[in-house]
Amino acid sequence: NPNEVVAVLKVVGLVANVRTTAAFQHQQSIYVPDDTSVLVAAPLCVFNDAPWLRGRVDPDRLRVVHPGLSLGTCRRLGIHRVSECVSEVIEPGFSPEPCPASDGSPARLTTTLTSAELAHGL
């Protein structure tokens, strides 16, 4: 129910503001909605600040908070950013090959980057 999700997001935001005080620093973790609106323990989630990494990581290993939670709220709850938890590493022995159709000139690069073929491929 969308109304329930909105209510939960508001409550989580209020709790995050209260948790910054010393009295709440040692409390157990609270539950936050993930991107499928399922409540999950906050330490098991990450804030999606790098959406391009999402498709490169096994979704069973990465729980992303609901997009309605701000980075500030997540920070106050101790939720890390994706970019802090995931790093991309080039495979050993990988060596990129130059594009044979390009002469390397800036004009050719501009033409390629602004082409309809590239736009459709993305």
The predicted structure's pLDDT at residue 45 = 93
- 8 Å CB contact between 81 and 71: yes
CA distances from 34 to 30, 42, 48, 68, 100 (A): 13, 9, 11, 10, 44
The predicted structure's pLDDT at residue 37 = 93
The predicted structure's pLDDT at residue 119 = 81
The predicted structure's pLDDT at residue 85 = 86
Max Cα–Cα distance, the chain, nearest Å: 64
**Low-confidence stretches of the chain (pLDDT beneath 50):** none
The predicted structure's pLDDT at residue 7 = 94
Instruction: Find tokens 């999606």 and name the residue.
Output: 48
The predicted structure's pLDDT at residue 53 = 82
The predicted structure's pLDDT at residue 68 = 95
- Please tell me the distance from the alpha carbon of residue 17 to that of residue 78, in angstroms, as a whole number: 12
The predicted structure's pLDDT at residue 27 = 57
Instruction: Please give the structure tokens belonging to residue 83.
Output: 């970019």
- Please tell me the distance from the alpha carbon of residue 8 to that of residue 71, in angstroms, as a whole number: 16
- Please tell me the distance from the alpha carbon of residue 13 to that of residue 59, in angstroms, as a whole number: 25
